[in-house]
Structure 1
């Protein structure tokens, strides 16, 4: 069973993927991800900044290689710790800029209908 810390790390990675997937980095999306990070209780071996930096690189690579679903599948066990919060977070980021990009919607639907069921 996943731990709270594993969930927090996976949630942060999911949030970064959701705001990076459409290739348009909007300030309100970045601020929302920062707010999510600020509200996580953190007791990981690595600092939250280190996890964020590594996640940014990993997400960029997953998007470039068209492996976003594979990347998210790797987070599944940890996200299942609180799948409703994971889905709510993804939806919040998807809707934060007032428009749902097609890539954001596709990723959210994958989470909701296939991965976190």
Structure 2
């Protein structure tokens, strides 16, 4: 009799779990504090989040992060070495906007990649 009751309870629990809405098991959407966001699924090319994506925004630290990623990618490919020095060219600096951040780099200045 006890075994029969136990089987009944287990079956009841399985049935109850089966009718729970799937969304109750899904992860909560992360809190996004940014004013401007554009998130695209590159596999489907579907826009997932678009919050003021076309508004003007200063790149701030994004420029530094992307520079580091490009340099580290070049290091991984063997194109450059972290111990190598580079020289700032006047041509690159002339393409920058007048009020853009340059970290006070001047044409001809030599610096270490590291």
Structure with more helix by fraction: 1
Task: Give me the TM-score of the superposition, normalised by structure 2.
Answer: 0.26
CA radius of gyration, larger in: 2
Q: Which one scores higher on RCO, CA 8 angstroms, separation ≥ 6?
A: 1
The structure that is strand-richer by fraction is: 2
Q: Structure 1-normalised TM-score?
A: 0.26
